[in-house]
Amino acid sequence: MVLSTKSLPKKRRASNPLSLKDIFMMLPIVTYPDKRLKAVSKEVIDFDADLHTLLDDMYETMINTNGIGLAAIQVNKPINVLIINLPDDDEEGTQDRANLLEIINPIITHSEGTTVYQEGCLSVPKFYEDVERFETIGITYQDRYGKACSLEADGLLSIAIQHEIDHLLGKLFIEKLSYGRRKKFEKEYKRMQKELKAKK
């Protein structure tokens, strides 16, 4: 018998005799204009093994697609879960897993100032545009064990958290563009999708 990835069991965690618990699954990313991105995500109640598996698979998926942030709804799980792993400040800009933030059921408690940053999104591939956000925010949230946490963020972290919380509300960064820039985006994005289809 030939062992291919196809023959691997879909649920590979609990009571798996082959001990495949270290194999993560790449999850398909839902991309615009898929309507599933518009759903409002639901609160997480159970901080169980399924949640931990999802978080681990989201991390694998994000890293392998060169992402720095990902919301569960982007992998077709409309629950209030997001992860962020910013690159290090040094020249290499490597992503250290020790800096991974797993944020569940976040609530913005306060916000201040405004800032503009050229954002992108794994669900809107190959498109980047300036977006205005709060400069600093405070949030409360829960970690993967359900423990209550809070943090203050500014800079890129603040922007990333706001971008991902928008996903939980069914919002994409392109919805924050001016009418003119949004039109330009729709035209460019459609053209790109046509080209991708022609290649297939």
Partner interacting with residue 68 (select from ligand QAP, Co ion, none; CB below 5-8 Å by kind): ligand QAP
Query: Which of residues 13 and 38 has its CB atom nearest to ligand QAP in the complex?
Result: 38
Query: Which of residues 55 and 121 has its CB atom nearest to Co ion in the complex?
Result: 121
Catalytic residue of the set 164, 186, 188, 195: 164
- Sequence-distant (6+) residues with CB within 8 A of 132 are 114, 115, 116, 176
Q: How far is the CB of 181 from ligand QAP (least distance, A)?
A: 16
Query: Which of residues 144 and 167 has its CB atom nearest to Co ion in the complex?
Result: 167
The piece of 97-105, 120-128, 131-139, 145-153 that touches Co ion (CB under 5 A) is: 120-128
Binding-residue pattern over the window 151 to 190 for Co ion, x denoting contact by CB under 5 A = ----------------------------------------
Q: Both ends of the chain: CA-CA distance in Å?
A: 32
Question: Which residues make up the interface to ligand QAP (CB under 6 A)?
Answer: 65-69, 117, 119-122, 125-127, 156, 159-160, 163
**164 catalytic residue (yes or no):** yes
Per-residue tokens: 14: 């609990």
Which parts of the chain are beta strand (E)? 69-71, 81-84, 101-119, 129-142, 148-153
**Sign of the alpha-carbon dihedral angle for 176, 43, 54, 99:** positive
User: Which segments of 23-149 does DSSP mark as H helices, in order?
Assistant: 49-64
- Beta-bridged to residue 84, according to DSSP, are 69, 101
Catalytic residues: 164
Residues that bind Co ion (CB under 5 A): 121
